[in-house]
C-alpha cells in the first residue's frame, strides 16, 4: 500500500513500507535534457547531476560523499530526457542522513568553479567512452533523426564544446529555474514508518518557498520516415528500427508495453528471438524497447548482425512485423504473454531500488502510483484486436525508420 503526503510548498511524497533492513530513498526532479532549450545549454542537466556532489554551502565534496559512504550506503544519480534523480540506499536507521543530504544538494549546491574544471574532464571522458560503444550510440543518433530540430533530438551528455564552457552562474540559474517544490517528488521504500518519513521531509524540505515551474515543452511534430546507413569501424552491423509511439498518458500505453514484450522482450521466447535468432542464427542480441514520455513515445528494435546479413535480417524483420500487424494473436497465446509480462513486472518490483525509482517517477508524472495489481489488470484487459490495431499503427514496416551502423 502506497502512502502519500504533500508538503505545503507542493513537494509530493510517496512511501512504501516493507520489512527490508535497507531503505532506498530518492528525489525526482522533473527536468531533463529536453529542457535545455538553447543549444549552448545542451548537456547541462547531466552536468549538474555530476556537479551537485561537488560542494554545498555546508559541505565540501569529500563530506558529501562520506555522508552516505561513511555508513556503508550508496549515493548516486541519473539524468534522462525528462527527469533527474538523486538517490541513496542505506540501512533504515540512516534514512535521516539521506533526506537531509538531498535537501542540501538540491537547494544549497554552490558548484565551485575549481570543482567544475575538474569534473569537465570526467564528463568528457564519459562522452568519449560512450562513443566507443556503437550499440549504445546508435540509439542517440536514431532519436536525433526521429526528433530532428526538437529538444528531444539532442543527447543527454551534450557536446565537449558545451561541457568546456559551463560555469557556476549558468548552473545556479538552471537549478533555480527547475529545482522548485512543485517539480519535485520524494520516494522512500523501506521499513521506516510513514510518520517518520513525513517528519523528516517536513524538517528538511518544508522551508523551501512554494514556486511553480516554468516548463516550456513543445510537443514534437511527426517527421517523415527515414533510412540511413552510417559507416563505422565495427565488426558487425548495428541496426535500430523504430518509430514514435504513445505517450505516458495514452490509454494504449499498456497495449504497447505488452506488444513490445511479445515482439522483443527479455524472454527467450519473444517473437523476434525465436524467428530470427533461433531459426536463422543471424544475431546474438535482438530486443525491442518502448519508452513513453510526457507527449510522445519511442519504440525501437535493436539487433547486432553480420554485415553481410544486414539486408536479409531487415527482410525477415519486416515479414514478421507484417504478420503481427495483420494476424490476430489467439487468446491462449495472448494470456500467456500477458502473464509473462506481469511476472517480469512483479520480479522488478521486488527490488527496492527499482520500486523506489518507479514510484517516484509515477508520482511526478501522474500524481499517483498504480499498484502492481492495477497494472496487471490493465495488461490482462488487452484484447487480440487491441494488440493487432496497435501493431498496425506502429509496427507496420511503412511506419518504421531505419538506422544502420556498419
Residue 95 and residue 192 in contact, taking contact as beta carbons nearer than 8 Å? yes
Q: What pLDDT, on a 0 to 100 scale, did the predictor assign at position 347?
A: 84
Query: Please, what's the largest Cα pairwise distance for the chain?
Result: 63
Q: What pLDDT, on a 0 to 100 scale, did the predictor assign at position 211?
A: 87
Q: What pLDDT, on a 0 to 100 scale, did the predictor assign at position 165?
A: 95
Domain 2-205 has CATH 3.30.830.10: yes
Q: What pLDDT, on a 0 to 100 scale, did the predictor assign at position 234?
A: 79
The mean pLDDT of the chain is 94
pLDDT at 77 over 90: yes
What is the per-residue burial (b if ≥16 Cβ within 10 Å, else e) of 255-285?
Answer: bbbbbbbbbbbeeeebbbbebbbeeeebbee
Residue 54 and residue 112 in contact, taking contact as beta carbons nearer than 8 Å? yes
- Please state the pTM of the whole predicted model: 0.94
For residues 248 and 92, give the distance between their C-alpha atoms in angstroms, rounded to a whole number: 32
- φ and ψ at 23, to 5 degrees? -110, 130
DSSP code for 267 = S
DSSP code for 220 = P
Q: What pLDDT, on a 0 to 100 scale, did the predictor assign at position 389?
A: 94
Judged by average pLDDT, the poorest of 161-165, 172-176, 258-262, 371-375 is 371-375
Q: What pLDDT, on a 0 to 100 scale, did the predictor assign at position 351?
A: 79
Q: CATH 3.30.830.10: which residues of the chain? A: 2-205, 227-405
For residues 385 and 146, give the distance between their C-alpha atoms in angstroms, rounded to a whole number: 28
What is the per-residue burial (b if ≥16 Cβ within 10 Å, else e) of 360-384?
Answer: bbbbbbeeebbeeeebbebbeebee
Q: What pLDDT, on a 0 to 100 scale, did the predictor assign at position 179?
A: 97
The tens digit of pLDDT for each residue in 9-41 reads: 999 999 999 999 999 999 999 999 999 999 999
116: Cα within 13 Å, side-chain hemisphere: 21
Q: What pLDDT, on a 0 to 100 scale, did the predictor assign at position 232?
A: 82
pLDDT at 266 over 90: no
Calculate mean pLDDT across residues 150-157.
Answer: 95
| Secondary structure of residue 56 in the 3-state scheme | strand
The tens digit of pLDDT for each residue in 181-199 reads: 999 999 999 999 999 999 9
Q: What pLDDT, on a 0 to 100 scale, did the predictor assign at position 142?
A: 97
Q: What pLDDT, on a 0 to 100 scale, did the predictor assign at position 209?
A: 93
The tens digit of pLDDT for each residue in 288-340 reads: 999 999 999 999 999 999 888 899 999 999 999 999 999 888 889 889 999 99
Strand 184-190 with 12-17, pairing: parallel
Q: What pLDDT, on a 0 to 100 scale, did the predictor assign at position 269?
A: 84
Q: Which neighbouring-strand residues pair with 52? A: none
The tens digit of pLDDT for each residue in 84-139 reads: 999 999 999 999 999 999 999 999 999 999 999 999 999 999 999 888 888 899 99
DSSP for 325-358 reads HHSPPPHHHHHHHHHHHHHHHHHHHHSHHHHHHH
CATH class of 227-405: alpha beta
Element (H, E) at 190: strand 184-190
Residue 45 and residue 156 in contact, taking contact as beta carbons nearer than 8 Å? yes
pLDDT at 282 over 80: no
Who's near 373: CB < 8 A, 6+ residues apart? none
Amino acid at each position: 500500500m502506497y502512502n502519500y503526503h504533500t508538503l505545503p510548498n507542493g513537494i509530493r511524497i510517496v512511501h512504501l513500507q516493507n520489512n527490508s533492513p535497507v531503505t532506498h530513498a530518492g528525489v525526482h526532479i522533473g527536468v531533463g535534457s529536453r529542457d535545455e532549450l538553447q543549444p549552448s545549454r545542451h548537456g547541462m542537466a547531466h552536468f549538474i547531476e555530476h556537479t551537485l556532489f561537488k560542494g554545498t554551502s555546508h559541505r565540501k565534496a569529500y563530506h558529501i560523499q562520506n555522508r552516505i559512504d561513511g555508513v556503508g550506503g550508496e549515493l548516486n544519480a541519473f539524468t534522462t530526457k525528462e527527469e533527474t534523480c538523486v538517490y541513496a540506499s542505506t540501512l533504515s536507521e540512516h534514512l535521516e542522513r539521506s533526506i537531509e543530504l538531498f535537501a542540501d544538494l538540491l537547494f544549497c549546491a554552490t558548484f565551485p568553479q575549481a570543482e567544475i574544471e575538474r569534473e569537465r574532464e570526467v564528463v568528457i571522458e564519459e562522452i568519449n567512452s560512450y562513443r566507443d560503444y556503437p550499440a549504445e550510440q546508435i540509439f542517440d543518433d536514431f532519436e536525433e533523426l526521429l526528433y530532428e530540430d526538437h529538444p528531444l533530438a539532442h543527447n543527454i551528455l551534450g557536446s565537449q564544446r558545451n561541457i568546456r564552457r559551463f560555469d557556476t552562474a549558468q548552473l545556479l540559474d538552471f537549478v533555480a529555474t527547475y529545482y522548485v517544490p512543485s517539480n519535485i517528488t520524494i520516494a522512500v521504500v523501506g521499513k521506516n514508518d510513514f510518520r517518520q518519513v513525513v517528519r523528516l521531509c517536513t524538517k528538511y524540505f518544508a522551508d523551501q518557498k512554494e514556486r511553480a515551474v516554468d516548463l516550456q515543452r513543445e510537443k514534437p511534430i511527426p517527421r517523415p520516415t527515414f533510412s540511413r546507413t552510417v559507416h563505422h569501424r565495427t565488426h558487425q552491423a548495428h541496426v535500430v528500427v523504430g518509430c514514435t509511439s504513445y505517450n505516458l498518458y495514452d490509454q494504449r500505453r499498456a497495449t504497447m508495453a505488452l506488444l513490445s514484450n511479445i515482439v522483443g522482450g527479455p524472454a527467450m521466447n519473444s517473437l523476434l528471438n525465436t524467428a530470427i535468432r533461433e531459426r536463422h542464427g543471424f544475431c546474438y542480441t535482438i530486443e525491442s524497447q518502448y519508452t513513453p514520455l510526457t507527449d510522445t513515445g519511442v519504440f525501437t528494435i535493436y539487433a547486432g548482425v553480420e554485415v553481410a546479413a544486414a539486408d536479409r535480417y531487415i527482410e525477415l524483420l519486416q515479414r514478421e512485423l507484417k504478420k503481427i500487424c495483420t494476424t490476430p494473436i489467439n487468446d491462449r497465446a495472448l494470456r500467456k504473454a500477458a502473464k509473462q509480462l506481469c511476472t517480469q513486472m512483479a520480479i522488478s518490483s521486488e527490488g527496492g531500488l527499482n520500486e523506489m525509482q518507479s514510484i517516484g517517477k509515477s508520482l511526478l508524472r501522474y500524481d499517483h502510483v498504480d499498484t502492481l495489481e492495477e497494472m496487471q489488470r490493465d495488461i490482462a484487459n488487452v484484447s487480440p484486436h487491441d494488440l493487432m490495431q496497435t501493431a498496425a499503427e506502429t509496427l507496420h514496416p511503412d511506419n518504421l525508420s531505419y538506422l544502420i551502423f556498419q
